[in-house]
Amino acid sequence: MGAPAGSGSASGPTPPERFWSLPPRDLFARLATSPAGLGAEEAARRLARHGRNAVAESQRRHLAARVLRRLAEPLVAILLVAAALSGLTGDWPGFAIIAAVVAVSVALDVAQEHRAEAAAAALRESVAVRATVRRDGQPIALPVEEIVPGDVVELAAGSLVPADGIVLESRGAQADEALLTGEPYPVPKRPGPSGAAGPADAYDALFAGTAIVAGAATMLVVATGRATRLGDVAAALAARRPPTAFERGLRALGLLLLRLTIFLVLFVLLAHLAFDRPALESFLFAVALAVGLTPELLPMVATVTLSRGALRMAARRVVVKRLAAIHDLGAMDVLCTDKTGTLTEARIVLRDCTGPDGASPSPRVLSLAALNAGLAGGIRTPLDAAILAAAPPEATAGWTLLAEAPFGAERRRSSVLAAHAGRPRLLVVKGAPETVLAACTAVESPAGGAPRPLDEATRAALLARAEARGAEGLRLLGIAWREPAEAEIAADFGPENERDLVLAGFCAFLDPPKPSAAGAVARLAAAGVRVKIVSGDAAPVVRHLVESLGLPARGLMTGEEIARLDARALAARAEACDLFARVSPDQKRRVILALKARGHTVGYIGDGINDAPAIGAADAGISVEGATDVARGAADLILLAPDLGVLADGVEEGRRTHANVMKYVRMGTSSNFGNMLSMAAASLAIPFLPLTPAQILLNNLLYDISEIGIPFDAVEREDLAAPHAWDMHAVLRFTLVMGPLSSVFDLATFAVLLWGFGASPGEFRAAWFVESMATQILVIFLIRSGGPVWRARPPHPVLAATSLGALAVALFLALGPPAQALGFAPLPGAVLGAIAALVVLYLAAAEAMKRVAVPGLPPA
């Protein structure tokens, strides 16, 4: 995709290391652009030259590359060697079969995976982060990957910085550069040139991978993709993402089977050679065994099952950005959520504005609040929008913004410095009542006289009053002001100026609870997922919401308490606590980590700038369609509707996916494994090969095909009822019960054939081929459910078709016209009858034993 073409004329030399030391004018000239941005044609040319603005190679590989990658796998390579040897020794059927096995399994693998991944990628793209870019003078929304050097990008609070560049304009912009500098507090950004020595001091530079957390800014893009400062770091981070529990489980299983395979194959090969069997034949037999044993389809099945899961989730309005997160969603047993939007309607309205007493209505407080909300740059928060919707338009008339200190979630205040002809300058602060009060030294008197000093008794009374109103479910903002002296220069304006304020009063907001939330929480609880609320809002508001929704909730912790606890103490407390109030963004993250440390699989759903760290820390990070870019960027899953019910559906889908992967794992570890094991043993006990190498490969190919339908299959209700963890012990237990069971029947088959019927090698192979195909394939209908087979939900038609179809082909090959060419001899009716009886007996035994193999199932 968009490989950089080495086309001729460059539009400017590569930007200097310290691009922030150049005046914007020079950079505009170097990059041949202007404040109106690039033209569409020039942008397309630059995209071709510089490549896409992405740090990692595109995940979607070419079809040809995929095929080549498969052919280079050691196992396939061995098979190709085996085919060549068969051909050289004149064994043409052997050659044809091996070649066919390679061709069909590679084709299956590639086609399935490619299709599934392409569909999942298309979904992912639909929720990709976009940026507002000026092209031909007009701001348009573009995929971040299409940004090129010279572009002018408009950013607002919540935007991810898409590339490296300089600030052209700033309206109180602050960037979170923790990724770059490790500094957790946002840094102000304004135009330069700063001439700074390093990126950490470059107040006029913005870097890809950081985020705007307050205010708004316009930037000129200087470098994109891998050329950005964090490009290589980000690429390395993306590549080194620690594997999830699911991926670790799959890998452990693969490794276990691989070790067993190597051991067995070497053992068989050496034993055969020790018994003086023909070397080439023994080698081919061992290779075929290895192919039969290796879970070569496991990665494909996992990808296809997960991709199919992603499509089904999309139908239920959950878009999956990281495939393995489906599994984490199903395994999640604790869900943390913020309040607004998921538990409330997020239709915030201003209920009233009052004086400090919280009772007498105050138009003046509304005007001050409107001044703060209306003059502030950046995107409007819902609270700001509610204030402006209620305020008369003339509230801000004549006022201009001199400076501002935008809202910060750690500070919980926002302020503006405003000017009006013929009036003193006015500083207006609004924010959480206790944080505003903390900056106040005086309070307006209800009668409207001169402000009086704020004494401790009044302060306590005001706080108690605010708390009481919060307990009615009202979200409160304190409004305070002061008239700064001219000497306080606007350029240095910042949070330090929020001092010596006069409290004017309070604005109270209503955000109605979402009635559907109670049902969704109950559904999640029934599915074994405990819901915890982690909110930046005040404790009484959170408690009132929980009560009005009738949610079961124990305990409440505030950010103040969390700040006093170390990680271990927090883990102990967080476990038993369902409500967290007045928590800062970093504390949200700490709560998630604490719960993870207790062994929980934790999900977090949120939409704000303040939720991004917690979303990133969670096992399943969830955001919603309309959320800020930072939240969506950090999330693994995006809900297309901000609704917990949608999430409950997603959890179900995650568990369905897991259950289907487990079916494949069980098939592979029990019946298939048992069969191959028996064959290895038999090859030593009987004087001829129980199956020729080509027959084994054919057997394995048909078995693989029979399983293609598994990702489509329905699952049982009990598989959806509780979170599952990837449990290697359970897999092992299943293998240790079901593997030997199938071996017992294999040995019985050998005995019957050899001693009962005195079968010839050709007859033995035909009979054994039929028996092993029938047992391996049919057992899926039993182990696809834990309960009695007659009570299970019917298998999906695709699964029935692939399984029974593969079996029919096997019977046709072993018993029909092609039999002789494949080295099978015709079977007498008595042998067929005996085999049918053995298969039925095996299936009955497997049905009985699966209850032992899967612990914790109710008796039939």
171 binds, among Mg ion, ligand ATP, none (CB under 5 to 8 A by kind): none
Closest CB to ligand ATP among residues 51, 431: 431
Closest CB to Mg ion among residues 309, 608: 608
Q: How far is the CB of 565 from Mg ion (least distance, A)?
A: 23
Closest CB to ligand ATP among residues 91, 338: 338
Q: Which residue has the tokens 């018994």?
A: 275
**Residues 536/467, Cβ–Cβ less than 8 Å:** no
Q: How far is the CB of 466 from ligand ATP (least distance, A)?
A: 10
Q: How far is the CB of 572 from ligand ATP (least distance, A)?
A: 23
Closest CB to ligand ATP among residues 506, 824: 506
Q: How far is the CB of 236 from ligand ATP (least distance, A)?
A: 32
Total residues contacting Mg ion by CB under 5 A comes to 3
332-340, 568-576, 623-631, 709-717 -> range binding Mg ion (CB under 5 A): 332-340
> Where would I find the H helices in 668-727?
673-685, 693-706, 717-720
The torsion angles phi and psi of 417, rounded to 5 degrees, stand at: -110, 115
Task: Please list the residues that pair with 337 across neighbouring strands.
Answer: 533, 605
Q: What is the rounded distance in angstroms from the CA atom of residue 298 to the CA atom of residue 302?
A: 6
Q: What is the rounded distance in angstroms from the CA atom of residue 823 to the CA atom of residue 814?
A: 9
381 binds, among Mg ion, ligand ATP, none (CB under 5 to 8 A by kind): ligand ATP
Closest CB to ligand ATP among residues 66, 632: 632
Element containing residue 132 per DSSP (H, E): strand 130-135
Task: Please list the residues that pair with 414 across neighbouring strands.
Answer: 430
**Residues 662/707, Cβ–Cβ less than 8 Å:** no
96-104, 248-256, 288-296, 334-342 -> range binding Mg ion (CB under 5 A): 334-342
412 binds, among ligand ATP, Mg ion, none (CB under 5 to 8 A by kind): ligand ATP
Q: Which of 586, 732, 746, 585 is nearest to 681 (CA)?
A: 746
Out of 91, 151, 164, 338, which one is annotated catalytic? 338
Q: How far is the CB of 438 from Mg ion (least distance, A)?
A: 22
**Residue sitting closest to ligand ATP (CB):** 536
Q: How far is the CB of 548 from Mg ion (least distance, A)?
A: 18
Closest CB to ligand ATP among residues 440, 705: 440
Q: How far is the CB of 538 from ligand ATP (least distance, A)?
A: 6
Q: How far is the CB of 608 from Mg ion (least distance, A)?
A: 4
176 binds, among Mg ion, ligand ATP, none (CB under 5 to 8 A by kind): none
Closest CB to Mg ion among residues 338, 649: 338
430 binds, among ligand ATP, Mg ion, none (CB under 5 to 8 A by kind): ligand ATP
Neighbouring residues of 200: CB distance < 8 A, sequence distance ≥ 6:
177, 180, 181, 183
796 binds, among ligand ATP, Mg ion, none (CB under 5 to 8 A by kind): none
Q: Is residue 608 involved in binding Mg ion (CB under 5 A)?
A: yes
Q: How far is the CB of 213 from ligand ATP (least distance, A)?
A: 11
User: Directed axis angle between helix 644-667 and helix 728-751, to 10°?
Assistant: 30
Closest CB to Mg ion among residues 608, 654: 608
Q: What is the rounded distance in angstroms from the CA atom of residue 21 to the CA atom of residue 248?
A: 47
Instruction: Please state, in angstroms and as integers, the Cα–Cα distance from residue 191 to each residue in 172, 219, 375, following that order.
Output: 11, 9, 20
**Residues 86/100, Cβ–Cβ less than 8 Å:** no
In order, the DSSP letters of 635-670 are: -SEEESS--HHHHHHHHHHHHHHHHHHHHHHHHIII
**Cα 57 from chain centre:** 19
Q: Which of 296, 295, 277, 299 is nearest to 286 (CA)?
A: 277
414 binds, among Mg ion, ligand ATP, none (CB under 5 to 8 A by kind): ligand ATP
Q: What is the rounded distance in angstroms from the CA atom of residue 270 to the CA atom of residue 283?
A: 10
Greatest CA separation for the chain? 115
Task: Show the 3-state SS of 539-584.
Answer: HHHHHHHHHHHCCCCCCEEEHHHHHHCCHHHHHHHHHCCCEEECCC
**Residue sitting closest to Mg ion (CB):** 608
Q: Mark whether 338 is an active-site residue.
A: yes
Closest CB to ligand ATP among residues 124, 339: 339
Taking residues 290 to 329 in sequence order and writing x for each that binds Mg ion by CB under 5 A, - otherwise, the string is ----------------------------------------
Q: How far is the CB of 605 from Mg ion (least distance, A)?
A: 10
Q: How far is the CB of 846 from ligand ATP (least distance, A)?
A: 51
Q: Is residue 587 involved in binding Mg ion (CB under 5 A)?
A: no
Q: What is the rounded distance in angstroms from the CA atom of residue 118 to the CA atom of residue 124?
A: 10
170 binds, among Mg ion, ligand ATP, none (CB under 5 to 8 A by kind): none
Tell how many helices (H) and how many strands (E) occur in the chain: 31, 23
Q: For the stretch 783-805, what's the b/e string if a residue is b when 16 or more beta carbons lie within 10 angstroms of its beta carbon?
A: bbbbbeeeebeebbeebbebbbb
Q: How far is the CB of 612 from Mg ion (least distance, A)?
A: 11
Q: Is residue 338 involved in binding Mg ion (CB under 5 A)?
A: yes
327 binds, among ligand ATP, Mg ion, none (CB under 5 to 8 A by kind): none
Closest CB to ligand ATP among residues 177, 537: 537
Positions in the binding site for ligand ATP (CB under 6 A): 338-340, 381, 383-384, 407, 409, 412-414, 430-432, 477, 535-537, 608, 610
Q: What one-character DSSP code corresponds to residue 13?
A: P
238-246, 277-285, 592-600, 608-616 -> range binding Mg ion (CB under 5 A): 608-616
Q: How far is the CB of 367 from ligand ATP (least distance, A)?
A: 16
Length of the chain equals: 860
Beta-strand relationship, 556-558 and 620-624? unpaired
Taking residues 243 to 282 in sequence order and writing x for each that binds Mg ion by CB under 5 A, - otherwise, the string is ----------------------------------------
535 binds, among ligand ATP, Mg ion, none (CB under 5 to 8 A by kind): ligand ATP
Beta-strand relationship, 602-605 and 579-581? unpaired
384 binds, among Mg ion, ligand ATP, none (CB under 5 to 8 A by kind): ligand ATP
Record the tokens describing residue 237, joined without a space: 């981070």
Q: What is the rounded distance in angstroms from the CA atom of residue 492 to the CA atom of residue 469?
A: 36
Closest CB to ligand ATP among residues 381, 785: 381
Instruction: Please state, in angstroms and as integers, the Cα–Cα distance from residue 455 to each residue in 88, 447, 462, 466, 501, following that order.
Output: 100, 18, 11, 17, 13
333-341, 374-382, 715-723, 746-754 -> range binding Mg ion (CB under 5 A): 333-341
Closest CB to ligand ATP among residues 168, 477: 477
Type of residue numbered 793: R
Rg, Å, the chain Cα set: 34
19-27, 228-236, 382-390, 604-612 -> range binding Mg ion (CB under 5 A): 604-612
Closest CB to Mg ion among residues 338, 746: 338
767 binds, among ligand ATP, Mg ion, none (CB under 5 to 8 A by kind): none
Residue in 53, 105, 340, 802 binding Mg ion, rule: CB under 5 A: 340
**Residues 381/406, Cβ–Cβ less than 8 Å:** no
Record the tokens describing residue 597, joined without a space: 């440390």
Q: Where do contacts with Mg ion occur on this chain (CB under 5 A)?
A: 338, 340, 608
Q: What amino acid positions are annotated as catalytic residues?
A: 338
